[in-house]
Amino acid sequence: MATTTKRSGTSRAKKTVTHASTRSKGGRPARQRHAQAQAAHRDRSAASSRSNSRSKYWSHRVMETSDAMDIEKDIFKTGSADEIAQSLKRSSTHSRRRKGTPFQSAMSMLNFYINRAGRNLPKTRRNTLQQAKRRLREAFGRAP
């Protein structure tokens, strides 16, 4: 630690100054923090490479194992808004793995897909899925 002395009158008072460049909140020098961060990164990458062999994304596991409902394969990737809405309605009414009402389950699966796709979802496809939401509301008699 760097120390400076300050004279005030006849007595000497020592004031301790800690420089931000040498210490952090944890109290370790940057060199030790860097080594610790590298070790943590190695541990995380090793753990993630083991889990990547099973499934790359957690959302894939959710779609397959959750109690939401059983849906047709690739229904969100193909088809028109009407086909998507009718398929979701059919799946949600026949499914035994849902917890909420058929409407809630169908809408949540559609929202889940839209949210997980994020920015990777093309604008035309996003518009189709938004239209599917409106058609789904109509199919369940919940049109505004």
Residue closest to 126 by CA, chosen among 63, 76, 87: 76
The pTM of the whole model exceeds 0.85? no
- The confidence band for 43, taking pLDDT boundaries of 50, 70 and 90, is confident
DSSP string, 59-78: HHHHHHHSSS----TTTTTS
Note the pLDDT of residue 32.
67
pLDDT on residue 1: 54
Residue 101 has pLDDT above 60, yes or no: yes
Mean pLDDT of 119-135: 92
Q: What is the per-residue pLDDT for 61?
A: 75
